[in-house]
Amino acid sequence: MQTRNKFFDDMSQLMTNAMGVAQGAKDEAETAMKSLMDRWLADRDFVTREEFDAVRAMAQKAREENEALKARIEALEAGSKAG
């Protein structure tokens, strides 16, 4: 009876170790895949979301400044035609 319990204890320990090894392999595979994807994306010159948002904000500000300058020029032109 004692050998049977030892057998199950050993099998349980073996399965626990195997699960640990499998988890470690899964983590390594995920890390390797993430690294591969990061390199692939970097090679394609894709921009990050933060970079995209920053450029979009700059473009919006430039459009607003252009509209303000356009209105100012129109007002100056209207003033010079009236005078």
User: Cα-Cα-Cα-Cα dihedral of 41, 43, 47, 48, to 10°?
Assistant: 40
Q: Give the per-residue pLDDT at 83.
A: 63
Instruction: Give the predicted TM-score (pTM) of the model.
Output: 0.45
Q: Give the per-residue pLDDT at 3.
A: 62
Answer positive or negative: Cα dihedral of 6, 7, 9, 13. positive
Q: Give the per-residue pLDDT at 29.
A: 94
Q: What is the spatial distance between Cα 22 and Cα 28, in angstroms, rounded to a whole number?
A: 10
Q: Where are the domains of the chain?
A: 1-45, 47-83
Q: Give the per-residue pLDDT at 82.
A: 73
The mean pLDDT values, 10 residues at a time, for the chain of 83 residues are: 76 90 92 92 86 97 97 92 72
